[in-house]
Amino acid sequence: MGPTRLLCPLEHHLIRSPLMKYFFYDILFHGFFAATLPYVLYKAATTEKYREGLGERFGRVKREKLSSLSGPGPGIWIHAVSVGETRAVLPLLKVLRENHPNARILFSTTTRTGQAVAAAECGPLIDALVYFPLDFSWAVKNVIREFKPDIFIDTEKEIWPNLFKALHDNSVPIVIVNGSISERSFRRFLKFGFFFADIFSKISFFCAGTGADFERALALGVREEQAMVTGNLKFDQRPGSGTHLTEGLKKNLGLKSGEILFVAGSTHSGEDEIILSAFKELLERYGNLRLAIAPRHPERFTEVEGLINKSGLTYDKRSAPKASTEKAGKDKGDGGAKVFLLDTMGELNSLYEFAHVAFVGGSLVPGIGGHNLLEPAALGKPVLFGPYVHTCGVMAELLSEAGGGVMVRDQRELAAELGRLAGDKKLRESMGAAAREVVKKNSGAVRKTLQVIEGLL
């Protein structure tokens, strides 16, 4: 239970004034952190990723990073939660850097995977990369005081009360880009409307991804003249905007003429078993089928390798080429492993380039909501996805309507659809072309969003 949930009983009694609301939120946030501190300390002691950027999470940015942010240009702070948001904002970041070569650009992410992708793909475009500070009033104020931003650009859906108040108090415009408010988040914000109405009113401009996001933003307190539908920045991503295709990856794959590569990207726990079973089922009919799996989180690499090993399929992995299991077997009669495990970060987009069919994970199991369907679509690949796509529902709907994507609900449907595509080259090509056309038709969000930002800089 987060700190905002604890505010509800206080609504009509103690926090009538805006200042008192933030005062009690700050107390509850500290209390919530204190309650979870033993767990946090345990994870920090046993897991490296919890120690990484610890000072930055408490608002302490290293001196060398701050020195790289000095200069006369405008200070632009861009925040992206993780991998998907980082890649979504990349086209906008490129144009901002072109238009403002002297700008001081601070880029923050919440997750370690977000840091890795930002370092690899945004490196030349930014001046400093940091972990996003926890929403303690003193922590966020310290970052603002040290960096002195002229604008804060928040990607997609994160709302932080203390940060927004501190930015507003320092006359720093707050722009939400790729603005997304799910139905679930909308209901939660409405439930605590006595508190969140003031927070949403501090947003200088809400660039909504869809009409539904626009309407929800208005209902939550954003003024109508300070919001518009700009579209989804992810439609402006182009092949090559991520990590460039590497010869090493191509060599590791060892894809032979006539082989069909099925790439399952951004997979989560519970999905890999379904994918491996569907793939094994199809191997009897399609001996030329290959599978590449890219788990969403690096801490699952070993787990997924174990699942592949347990399946009896031969495999190679990116981190250790030719380290495949040496099973006696028919599936290695051609001298190549049937499964490829991408156990590195930042190369999924490159892997999609080799795909003949792509599946995007986080969608076959509940609780995640799906990941970016447009990465393979922009490359002209047929896109498969599961039924749990509430975070990318518009993309899924557009791809389905255009014939560029298909929803599969379980192992049986995944095997059936993959088999249909594996046996029909013309179908793969027509679906891939339809997927690419969806991306092309819906592009333009960067231009609209940039106009908003330029007007506030």
Query: Same structural domain for residues 217 and 294?
Result: no
**Cβ density class 148-172: b for 16+ within 10 Å, e for less:** ebbbbbbbbbbbbbbbbbbbbeeeb
* 239 within domain boundaries: no
pLDDT value of residue 229: 96
Domain at 215, CATH number: 3.40.50.11720
One domain for residues 18 and 75: yes
Residue 240 domain-assigned? no
Least confident range from 44-58, 153-167, 340-354: namely 44-58
Averaged pLDDT, 295-300: 92
207 and 258 in a single domain? The answer is: no
Whether residue 392 sits in one domain with residue 448 = no
Distance CA 302, CA 295 (A): 10
* pLDDT range class, residue 352, cuts 50, 70, 90: very high
Please list, in sequence order, all residues whose beta carbon lies within 8 angstroms of the beta carbon of residue 121, skipping any fewer than 6 positions away: 86, 87, 90, 241, 242, 243, 346
Confidence of residue 214 (pLDDT cuts 50, 70, 90): very high
Same domain, 435 and 452: no
Structural domain that includes position 410: 247-441
Q: Are residues 203 and 261 in the same domain?
A: no
Q: How many domains does the chain have?
A: 2
169 and 291 share a domain? no
In terms of Cα–Cα distance, which of 279, 247, 424 is closest to 353? Answer: 247
Instruction: Calculate the average pLDDT of the chain.
Output: 89
pLDDT for position 243: 46
Same domain as 191, residue 165: yes
Alpha-carbon distance of 1 to 31, in angstroms, equals 12
Residues annotated as catalytic are 85
User: Same domain, yes or no, for 185 and 300?
Assistant: no
CA distance linking residue 58 with residue 140, whole number of Å: 8
Of 249, 315, 324, the closest CA to residue 280 belongs to: 315
> Does residue 237 lie in a domain region?
no
Mean pLDDT of 331-357: 83
Checking if the pLDDT of 13 tops 80, the result is no
Question: Both tokens of residue 283?
Answer: 């191997």
> For residue 240, what pLDDT is reported?
53
- Tens digits of residue pLDDT in 265-276: 999 999 999 999
The C-alpha atoms of residue 293 and residue 305 are separated, in whole angstroms, by 10
Alpha-carbon distance 362 to 364, whole Å?
A: 6
220 and 260 share one domain: no
pLDDT of 409 reads: 97
Any idea what the CATH number is for the domain that residue 333 is in?
3.40.50.2000
Q: Is 359 a member of any domain? A: yes
Could you report how far apart the first and last alpha carbons of the chain are, in Å?
Answer: 37
DSSP string for residues in 276-339: HHHHHHHHTT-TTEEEEEEESSGGGHHHHHHHHHHHT--EEETTBTT------SGGGTTSS-SE
User: Which residues, other chains included, contact 362 with Cβ-Cβ below 8 Å and sequence gap of 6+?
Assistant: 266, 267, 268, 271, 296, 368, 369, 370, 371, 388
Residue 242 included in any domain? no
264 and 375 share a domain?
yes
274 Cα distance to chain centroid? 23
Are 218 and 252 in a shared domain? no
Interacting residues of 348 by C-beta distance below 8 A, sequence separation 6+: 242, 265, 266, 294, 342, 375
